[in-house]
Structure 1
Amino acid sequence: MEFFLGAFSAEWEQRKAALLHDRSLGRRKPIDEEEWRHRSAGFAAGGVASGGGSLAKTGISRRSAGVLGGDVRRADTERPMRTRFEALASGSQPAVVKMASFGGGSRLGAMVNYVSRNGEVVVENERGERLRGRDELAAVGADWDHLMKNRAESRDIGSFRIEAFFVQESDLDLLARSVVKRGFADRSFAYAVTPRADGNGIDIEGLVVLRSPKDGERLTGDDKASRLVQARFQQGDRDGVEARFRLTGYGNGVDYGTSRLRALVDKHGGAVRDEQGRGISNARQAGDLVQQEWRDKLHSRKPRDVMHLIMSARAGTAVAAFESAARGFLAAEFSGHHYVFAVHDPANDPKAEHSGGKRPHVHAHAIVVMRSDAGDRIETTIPAFRQWRVTMAEKARDHGINMEMTDRRERASAPAFGKNQVRPINSTGRTEHEGTSEAAERRYLAKRSDERSFAHTHASKAYTVLAKQEWRSLAGGAGHETVATFAVAQILRLETDGERPNAQEAFASASKNSSSQSRINLVQLDHLVSEGDDMRHMTRPEFEAYEKRVEMALFRADRTTPPSERADFEEIAAAAREHVNVRRELVALVEQRDRDEATERHEEGHPRPNDIQGTAQERDDSLERWNDAVSRHGLATVKAANQILVEIERAREAIERVEAGKVGGQDVRALKVELDLELGKAAELGAAGNTLIREVAEVDDELRRTLIAVERERLERERGRSEGREVLRSNERNGSEELEERGAPRGSNAAGHSQTDIRSNDNAQSDGREPSGERASGGAPRTDLAKQQVPRLEFLQREADERERDQDDRER
């Protein structure tokens, strides 16, 4: 076959096409052979030093050293072990880069919305462009679409329905289980039984793992699979039972299976059993069955078009510096790939803490396309993860953050737990989890309590020996007591019980006095004290709980502070207690203010029971409603809506006071004009897409009617009905001339007439009647009167303002 390189416009396309053509003919360039030989030699020689095959010692990056053999990036930037250990002992934080998940093109929109907090957090792409809002973020999917393979997910779990007919049977569960087994053979399943009303059979519905553990056959979960299962049942021994099988759906992964099985349990009141006859009576048992027993049988596959990456730093890290470090890390590691990232700062995170937002430490989320425009894919291997941490630490140091790459074998740290091994139970502060199984719970507790865990492979044991030697060297040659103490604590961690009989006791003793633990406790203390910055929203019980947390943090820091830092700690503790005392006085002042306000309202004829508790409770309820609205609609939406809604409520209260005779000297008609103006503003905002305004309109009749009128007007405008617009202008002119002919005053009377027109027309609409004057001369339809009044109200308001200015001039 003749090959034309001129068909490709870019140089890299020509080189890649030529190389692939040569390989298809069995040829291979010498440079490729040399590259693979060097790569293999590097892996063989770099076992211990690089953690069992790191690219750090080979000098070749797998991602960059692709099939073209060019642009090989050196990965030897990892600092010496001694240098890293000394920095960690001096207070540097470990580099944290986590690969959270993969996703296909269909999940890209949801992942970007999560990272951007539904468009409220600024997102930056690989070109440095800052994106905000749903419209700009929606363009990301279109830009990346050519890189999305959009491979279908595997069909792991299917839902089924079976109609079984028989003459008589005493044990319906046993019969149902045998029927399902004949159709699905050795597959795992769960089912529920419902006797038929006519008494001649049962209906069975449930879930089944589509892949067979015996031969690997995977049912497709559609009509074709239904016919296959039906044929198998027909061929077997049916024992006088007739059954019709039908697979009704399918899904991917344990999340799908868990949700569907829990729904089945709820539907049948806990009367669900598995293939072994064990009962599944609640949601927890349903989740345990899918996650613990079915997971390994699924052999689930998902598309990996994009990956979700998380970079974290300790609490108190400078946000701007960390953002710059994350930007540099992504540019260095994923050059040539498309990505977006956003920084979540606890001070500016729009997501509520109880919903999983406002984490106590700054962190960044990145969505990275797995395949570059050149066709290279990102490798997600252990050596690649190590190199990511090296680069992240390097970029952090470039921006003034003390950070180092760490390896859990250097401290005998426990292995991390996966997201599928735990479920969150409390998101206040640091998220608390519980294990999805006993083994997962043990793994979670081991990581949270920082238990020791030793590696078992030969290469990892050799790496641990090397790390122990470096810690010993640092402990003996350290010029600072803090560094030496930290190094000794790490040596004790790395010593097994066989090497030292009392290693566990010595390690526990050293951990209590380690400088690292002391620094951690001081950071937690600083975070707790900072909580008091918003103390005006705290009630007395909340403040007392806050005070107890600060005292507990002081107690922990006191136990772990080294003798050399005792004086500094006492100064910090005194400042923290003084801070708490000041906040205690602030809470007392707020309570006194609430008492005074309650007394004033009581004297004005508005008694309020339980003045102090009632005021605090109302403030708490208001704050809770505000936070709930922000979490559902977004801060910008709530602020814009709240400003107008407050004005509407103020106008309504003023009208009520005047009509009740409690306040004199004000014109009710002018107040009603003002109310209608505010309602018009709110309706315009709601028609523009403000979801909070639309939610309030569902329970506010006046606002709902105004909103309907504004939306009708917008619809007319969008349809381009020139005739309707001409009629509207004619009506406005006729209305103005009519007012002049009647000689109506230019102030409140005209406003009152306008208000009466609006309300009478609204009442006619609510009764289903056609308003008067709906048809103009010639049969042309007139627009809704409420729509006509919105611009007229503004005109009348301007006239009222002019009249007031004229009156002021006359008085002067």
Structure 2
Amino acid sequence: MNAAFGSKPFVYARAGSTVKVYAYTDMKAAALAKALQKLDHESGRGGVLQRADDGITARLRGAGVAGRAETKAAVSTERGGRYFLQKFIRANAGVIKSDGEELAAGQRADKAAQALYASWKADFKTVEPRNVYHVVFSARAGTDARGFLRATENVLAEMVPDHKWAIAHHPETGHVHVHAMILARSESGRPLHFSKADLYDWRAAFAEKAREEGIAMVATGRMDFAASRPFNMRQAGAYERSKRDTRHSVSPTIAQRVEAKRQAAFEARTIAAYGAWISRGWQLTATMTREAIPGSQAEAGAAAFSAAVAELAAAKRSAFGSPPAPSGEGTPLSPSVKKVDTLIDLTNHVREIVSMELSPLELRRKIADVNKAFDRIDGSLSKKEDKQELAGIREEMNGLLNQRLNDVRVQAATGGTEATDTVRDGGRSLSQKEQQAKTQDRANEQNPRQPDKLAAPGSAAAKKAEQQADRVERQNRDTQRSLDDDRER
């Protein structure tokens, strides 16, 4: 087993001709766990699960053991690892460690698992920091390779001036592409990071350097073509499997997304709503290309695409009954009018929420909906400065909403206005319930058939009354402390 698990730590227990093993391995536990979850819906153990079993079986065979390995469970978190190790020790008798030593009998499972896990930590794989980034710059076939190489050098000199890098051009492939290897840390120790916004900035800067070398290139996004949403390899694999085997199925949304993207279909509603802005952006792109590369065919292509989008947008607006797009100058490449309009609507909606008379529960739901809308807008932004500006607006709007929520909580707890302190129980407000309780108390006081009863000191009833009084006092202190915290927040 030491040969089978590559000298990694493990424990095992015999059960007849079967050996149960709990081991730390180099295999990807998250992928194995996901495959095990899907095992009930599939006909056999395929993919990553089968490869893991076959690998352990082959190493056992190489060590002279004619056995077959079968993975039963996998866990990738430290907390889960400790829990299942403890469960393994508790469920099996005569557990033996990888050094051949048997766990002491009578030892508590949690203590044994804690000690074992602590001794294993030295073998655990840690996430090493990235040392090098691999970036690929590519262009269409027929692009001037020398100019493309110079553009690559220029953009690297501009974007990472104090990082070391090396580039290589592959002339033997159909399309022109250059590989760049960039050290993750600069000479001054500054780390290099690539976010989604950073990648767009790199694409825009590279397109500008390419145009300076006479290469017709622009940095475009999905919005510039009203393209359908992309799909990932997992979604494509599931869709292909569903076509081959009726036992597998995918949602209609995934199927439509894969087919639309493969057919290069555009989003009709996006064209209808924002086609005029997309068209105007391509007109400005044609103008920019004409100034940068006079006589280029790209200018005519951008102008023709702009005209086609404008014509199609008019037809789709008629089909969907959409209002005409707002007027404006537009921007070349990735127009953001949709994002701006959506943000304006959202901020107006936040101000409406602040002016509403809502219960704390209703207001918290509104705040959650607002933050989901901000997340959607943030996901549609590509430029770093746009994301930073949105974060500032979001912080301001959340400040207004949280301040309103604190006010509503205070009013609800202290018997404030009828509109804000309504409780879902029967639709009555806190003040109505309080008034009913006072009325009931007066009725009890005036009822001669229910005279006040004083408990004798030291009796069980007296002790119970004292406990009740202490409990009420603690509740009052907790309520006051909660109100103070709300005011402080």
Question: Is the TM-score greater than 0.5?
Answer: no
Structure of greater relative contact order (alpha carbons < 8 Å, 6+ residues apart): 1
TM-score for both structures, normalised by structure 2: 0.37
TM-score with structure 1 setting the length: 0.24
Pair member with larger Rg: 1
